[in-house]
Amino acid sequence: MSIHCQLLILILPLTLGIQVHTGELIECQEAVPHSRPYMVHMERSMQDGETRHCGGFLLNEDFVMTAAHCQASSYTALLGVHNVSNSNGVQRISVEQTFPHEDYNETDLNNDIMLLKLSTKAKFSANVGHIALADQGDGSLPKSCILSGWGTTVKNISYMSAVLMEVNVTLNDSKQCPNTNLYCSEGETGPGKGDSGIPLVCENGKAYGLVSHNFRPPSGGPEIKGCTKIPEHRSWIDSTI
């Protein structure tokens, strides 16, 4: 069912004078249940006792990928989720070890990518599976991509979507994109609060990137949505796994 979504914006000021947001998503629609079996709903236990969320995606039976800025004291990966209020058939697996990129920069969010090793192997099924990653050779800019996540869906309300939502995005060669490690897009569609770490899935069904941050460049102009490039990090990913 198609719905109209507007997501809460979270502003993070950076030392470079760039304003960074978690994003705003409109014209999204509910995903077909379990049509994206690689999606992972990440529960993050924080030092203050709160539970927060990020998105992630399953690479194999042992590893989940998410954003490095999704820091937490501990993590639980929920696999096979569509509606977060329905736990039937959902696998809850704790994270045994975290591998944030060694060159991750908390200030400008460069190399915003992290691998999480599960404490037990995921059990593949019709609702749980992995996604292939774009290779280093897949360097050409994909045009038509999809983002899926459980991020917030009501403006100025912090609760997340109960069901998995998805939206189409188009990448571009924006000169405002701050570095070669990001895919960028402009316009109103994009990820929302709680969607950090969700995969950018493009024409061939591979994950080309993961949601990092949105920002408004110092020179002004429209907000830009940034996703960490997976092809640029394949050597690190393969060596870590």
Give pLDDT, residue 21: 39
60: left (phi over 0), alpha (psi -120 to 50) or beta: beta
With vertex at residue 43, the alpha carbon angle to CA 109 and CA 71, rounded to the nearest 5 degrees, is 30
Residue 213 is a catalytic residue: no
d(CA 126, CA 108): 39
pLDDT tens sequence for the chain (241 residues): 223 343 322 223 222 333 343 334 445 789 999 999 999 999 999 989 898 999 999 999 999 999 999 999 999 999 999 999 999 999 999 999 999 999 999 888 999 999 999 999 999 999 999 999 999 877 678 878 999 999 876 655 566 789 999 999 888 876 767 777 899 887 766 677 788 999 999 988 999 999 998 887 777 777 788 899 999 999 999 999 9
> Of these residues, 196, 212, 213, 233, which one is catalytic?
196
Give pLDDT, residue 9: 29
Cα–Cα nearest to 146, from 39, 4, 7: 39
Give pLDDT, residue 138: 77
Residue 138 is a catalytic residue: no
Residue 69 is a catalytic residue: yes
CB 110, CB 69: distance < 8 Å: no
CB 185, CB 172: distance < 8 Å: yes
Any idea where the domains of the chain sit in the sequence? 11-31+132-234, 39-130
Token pair 């899935």 is found at 201
Give pLDDT, residue 15: 29
> Of these residues, 101, 112, 161, 212, which one is catalytic?
112
Torsion of CA 164, 7, 207, 136, to 10 degrees: -170
- Check if 11-31+132-234 and 39-130 are the same fold: yes
Give pLDDT, residue 161: 85
d(CA 226, CA 215): 8
State pTM to two decimals.
0.85
> Of these residues, 53, 69, 213, 233, which one is catalytic?
69
Return the CATH number of 11-31+132-234, one of 2.40.10.10, 3.40.50.300, 3.90.25.10, 3.40.50.720.
2.40.10.10
CATH architecture of 39-130: Beta Barrel (2.40)
Give pLDDT, residue 154: 60
